Structures are given as structure tokens and as C-alpha cells.
Structure 1
Amino acid sequence: MKLYRAAAFSSGGKGGNPAGVAICSRALSESTMQALARDVGYSEVAFLHPEGGSWRVRYFAPEIEIPFCGHATIAAGAILGLNHGVGQYDLKTNLANVPVVASMSNAGWMARFVSPRTFTRELAPLHVERLRDCFGLAADELDAGLPPRLMNAGANHALIALRSRRRLSHMGYAFSELLQVKRELDLATVTLVYRESDDVFHARNPFAAGGVYEDPATGAAAAALAGYLRDLGIKRSGSLRIIQGEDMGRRSEIFVDYDAARGTGVRIAGEVSVWGGSELDARLMAVD
């Protein structure tokens, strides 16, 4: 088993969201994967092993398994490309088959995938109020044109849109209180966004459920945002650029493209900076 470390959705070779990608010859036990994810300490580690003509993949945060993770999928695509060449690789996640394409550009490795199907649901007023309280947000600080919703493209995310980029930059939250709301709603993250234009959004993604204060780039949430915009008729199709991680000092860029057909998967792409790989040592292997 070889563990690679890479930053997905990096911008000009800098920033991005660190992910672990473990290339395994066989399936590992859940306890081993959870222990390794906790040891690595990134927001997610993707564990892959060959299964027929595809690759079986599972995603683990330091505290929990995640049904789908966009940035770790982008990182996995680049690592598969590094090992086996450019082209398409079919990933079998817990939810759906997700094709990922690895390619090269002047900046280095790139990857893109098509997300699982999307859907959007109402959030109860009580949950919206509790989420606002967690972040210390007044009702008039929210963007009325982008109402709070639960959105999904493989995992649940709650969307909170703010009127001010400055307010987004000052995000802070009550960790334990938000964790409780996330557990009640089965949320992966809360996605806070500021709409700069119809095509450009700034985002921040607290990830208390996974034991991480904030994610610098969240591909699954980006796909869910596109589904949300489509479902609410705000932007029925087209392209988006999502800038995330700036306020953490890890600027990330997520490129999004989607069609008008409701529920269909969203195309997510980004640059990947690969830091290298190493064989896991005996201490870690002994967990299995």
C-alpha cells in the first residue's frame, strides 16, 4: 500500500486542499482506514483498490467515513494518472459510479469528475435559525436572493449565502453547537458563500462533522451548489468558478460546469499539486 499526499484545486501550484490517496492491492478493514485517516490528519483520505475494471474507493475523515468527497476524488484522479497515465478511471463509491479523468496541463496534473446526482431540499426555519446562531449571523446579513437550503451531490450540505464578502472573511462558529446541528441533519459541511457575480462565488466550508474546523476546497459542495442554482432557477446551466480557502491562506479554485436537466451530475475540475508518496510503515499496517 502506498500513500500519496496531494493538494486538490490548487491555484498556480499553490494552496488547494490537502488529501491523502492510498493505493491498495486489496480492501482494508474500516478500522484500518479510519485509523490511517486519523493519523494522516487531512480532512479526507481516499482509499482505492482495483475491483474488476474499476477502482473501489472509500473516503475517511479523521473522525468518520464520508459517502463522497470531491477534493479527494480530484486528488485520486491525478494519482491514478501519475501511476497509470492520462485517461479516464471509473471509481465505485459507496453511492454511485463516478468517472474521473486525469490530464496534464502547463500547470501540472489536472483532474475532473462527474458528480453523483444532485437534489435540493427545504431547511426548516428552526434549523436555519440555529445555523445562523452558530455563526453569529443576523437575518439581514443573509443574501435574500440565495435562500438557505439543504443541497446534495453525494453528501448533504447546508447552504448559507451572505451579502458581504467581508462578513464571509470573518467567519467563526461555535464548534460543538454546529456539530450537533450537523448530526441532526446528517450534514457533511455547511457551505457559506458570497456571490461576486453570476459566474463567481467565494466559499467557506466548516467541517466539524469530520473533526476539521474548515475545508479549504470542497468539490462535493461545489457540485451541490450548482444543483441548487439549477433547482431554484437562479442559474439553470453554465459554468462557475468557486474561490475557496483564501481566508485560510490556501487559495483554491474549483471549476464547475453543468447542464439544465435537473438532478444530473455536475462536472467538477481542478488543478492538483502532488507532493509525493511513500510506503506505509509497519506500525500503521499493523492496525489491519
Structure 2
Amino acid sequence: MAAFNLTHSDPSPFILMGIPGLEAAYVWISIPFSVFYIVSLLVNFLVLFTVGKEQTLHKPMYLLLCMLALTDMATPTFVVPKALCIFWFSLKDITLGGCLTQMFFLHAVSLMHSAVLVTMAFDRYVAICDPLRYSTILTNWRIAKLAFVGLTRAVLFILPLPLLLSRQPFCSNRFIPHTQCEHIAVVKMSCGDVSANRTYGLVLFFIVIVLDLTLIALSYVLIIRSVLKISSKEAHQKTLNTCTAHVCVMLMYYTPSIFSNLIHRFGQSIAPQIQVILADLYLLVPPMLNPIIYGVKTKELRDKMGKYTCRL
């Protein structure tokens, strides 16, 4: 991905400014960045380690949790190291190729994350609405194929973004008021016609969000309809409780994602530092909380993770 066509641009690097207006507080800001990142890596690695070690967890639901954990480890990894270099050492330079590569992986992982959440909704739908066929419909091999489809979709959908930008001429003012090479932030650096980039990015955002949220909503409508047919209130509670973790993780991902994207595109009146902080928190907080939520709400996983945690 580093070998983009850069013939239309000079080799001058971009300058990632970090969080405009808060330069004096960079050392303090770096503390939560570091803590969130380290905790995110540790708890997600614990999920991967636990599922890998325990044969009883080699089931579709826990394989999906492993996929979620991988995306949760990758997301901050593409942002936090460079942000800390800015905060600690004022290393703000980044080449155009490096910027476009970061953009590609960051957005591709985000789409992969969304695909995992859709697959989890389908998993809950089958488990509740058609439990007798669950083991035949959702096999480990089928989960692997769905993961491959999600990865392919992410790559094919996101690849045009850096490819289109790599053909753009960029202005001499290459100061990006951000800690990362977010697509819209880089588009604003171009002196050429970026209407295609803006249109594709906006259409892609709404198509993916609307499509994925529609599929998730459809799954939960069918789940709720199935649950309402159950007469026992205890069964109601037990069935819906299995969906609570997924709903929490889904809300933590889609709500700030939509809010952050809309602010970057249409929130010109909002202070730049607020936009950057919101974008960074969206990439830092959910990856840290997701495995904790599933660990708390899923008894089998909680017990197994507790066993390995006590050994450390």
C-alpha cells in the first residue's frame, strides 16, 4: 500500500499538528492516550489468548469476539504511536505515502469492524430465532468465510480513497490540524478538484452505515418478534440479556462514528481541537471497553478470562 502513484505531488511531507491550541498540554494529554492504548492491547490480547487456549470456546460466537478484538487492537495502533511521537518528541512530519497508507488501514479496519458487528447481529438472530439449526447454519468455517467477505469489502471500498488522493496536487501549506491522516483532513490539503473524493467518501459513508445498520436493525426486529412469542418473563430476560453486550458495543461504535464524520464534514463552527479530541476518543475508548463489556456480560468468557488473569 505504500507504493501509491505520487507522480502528481512533490516529495514535501505533511505536518500533523496534533491538537491545535492545546500544545502546552501535550504531556498531560499523552497520559490518557497511553493508558487507553495499553489497556486496550492488554484486554483484547487476553480475549484472544483465552479463546485460543480454551477448546470449549472454539465456537462461532467467540470466534467473532476474536475478530472484534483484532480490529480493536489494530484501530488505535494505526493512530496512537504517531500521536505520541507528536506529543512527546514533536515528530510531526509524515510523507504523502505514509499518510495515505495510514488512511487506508485506518478506514479499512473501521469497515471491517462494522462487518463484524453485522455478523454478530446475524449470530444472535440465528441463536434466538432458530436455535435448533444454529450449529448447522453458523459453523466455524462459515464464520471464516464471512470474515473474508468483510475483509474483501473493506479493502475494495476503501482503496479508491487513497488512490484518488495520490493523483491530486497538494498545496504548499501542508499543515494538517489533526493527529492522524483522516480522509477529509487530507482532502482539504489538495489544490485540485476534489469533488470526486468528497462525493465518494460521503456516499461510501452513508452506504456502509445505512446498509449495516439496516441489517442489524432487521436482525433485532426479528429477534424482538421472536422473543414476544415466548410466554415466560424469565425466558424473555434471559434471551434479551444475550443481546445486551452486542447492543452496547454497537452503540459505542456507530454513535460516535456518525457524530464524528458529520462534525468533520459539516461542523465548521465547532472548534478544531474539539473535532480532533472527539475523533481520537472514538478510536481509543471503544476498543478498550468492548472486551470488558463482553467479559462482564458473557459468563463463560468471564470465568475463563478470570482464570488466566489470576495466573498473571
TM bucket (normalised to shorter chain) is: under 0.3
Structure of greater Rg:
2
- Greater per-residue strand proportion: 1
> What TM-score do you get using the length of structure 2 for normalisation?
0.24
